[in-house]
Structure 1
């Protein structure tokens, strides 16, 4: 379903994010995130420099290695492009995320360890979504789930509403029809 036609406009900024998940030969998982910001026109930050149209202002990459419980074992970060000379200093704080779990409380852990001036806004944005990317990549399929185990995603969106038709079809034992008034 396409968006409605927009009003006349001109493009100013493009932000691209990409997430990938890999199963390693040692049984651990690598979850990678990448963020690239570009401008459509010449862009200058006073006392820093200028960027040509299409030249990345931000280009940041993260790899988090997690175990099957989504606990971060290792983390690596790279800033290929950044607007201020001081930006790379934020990378040192990333090691604080080792030992954190990409599950409930993930955003709180990011804010606690990398919030405000302790980190980089763009790195935090990548980290927020890496938990979802890990879940999507590590989900081995409903058929492999234990029959008595309730999948964590039930009840988290319209499609997986425990009173909805998808759950009724895919997980009839977990389906809970709405009570009639």
Structure 2
């Protein structure tokens, strides 16, 4: 079991599943597909009618196409299940507003500006927020080099033209485990370790 055993008996009532898949395309671009599904374990009365147990209340998707510099070159949103048919799904074409954004440059802020609140769908906009880290994970080891090679020299390439630059691996100093003064950095990336400040 992933979590410790619960302290009380309980019954599952609601399930939200978020899936993200990344695909390398033949044209050197990448598709990142994110999907969110909400289901209930019992029949649910919505304003638009009864939704039987197990049938999705939400089944929404967001696909972006990016280059290896994390620029969004295409975007598509879909909504196959939603509480207000004809209304919820009317906003999906607006997610083309993601085109032109870069996942690593103020992306989350720009998503809120363009598609936050009543300018978008709460669930699709929330789903968009996970795209930067999903793309980084997809690129790790494929587009971005994540380890030290060749006698301690780092090759951290975003594309083939910068493969020989000696740059700090992209994941360092982005979370608590990989702070530059951490034991993990000292162990796995000794070239980049910094002494903890007093």
Q: Distance in 1 between matches of 2:7 and 2:78?
A: 36
Whether 1:150 and 2:168 are equivalent positions in the alignment is yes
Contact 2:146 2:171 in 1 (8 A): no
Q: 2:26 corresponds to which residue?
A: 25
Whether 1:178 and 2:196 are equivalent positions in the alignment is yes
Q: Distance in 2 between matches of 1:21 and 1:157?
A: 22
- 1:22-77 residue CA offsets vs partner (Å, 9 max, x unmatched): 1111110110101100001110113x111111100100111100011111000111
Flag structure 1 segments of 5+ consecutive residues without an equivalent: none
Q: How far is the alpha carbon of 1:120 from its aligned partner?
A: 0.4
Q: Distance in 2 between matches of 1:37 and 1:136?
A: 25
Q: How far is the alpha carbon of 1:147 from its aligned partner?
A: 5.9
- Superposition TM-score, scaled by structure 1 size: 0.92
Q: Distance in 2 between matches of 1:96 and 1:132?
A: 20
Q: How far is the alpha carbon of 1:8 from its aligned partner?
A: 2.3
- Superposition TM-score, scaled by structure 2 size: 0.85
Q: 1:49 corresponds to which residue?
A: 49
Say which SS state the counterpart of residue 142 (structure 1) adopts: coil
Q: How many equivalent residue pairs?
A: 179
Q: Which has the higher contact order (CA 8 A, sep 6+)?
A: 1
Q: 1:71 corresponds to which residue?
A: 71
Q: How far is the alpha carbon of 1:5 from its aligned partner?
A: 2.0
In the TM superposition, structure 1's runs of 4+ consecutive aligned residues that sit over 4 Å from their partners are: none
CA RMSD of aligned residues (A): 1.6
Flag structure 2 segments of 5+ consecutive residues without an equivalent: 148-154, 157-163
- 1:56-104 residue CA offsets vs partner (Å, 9 max, x unmatched): 0100111100011111000111111111020011112101110001114
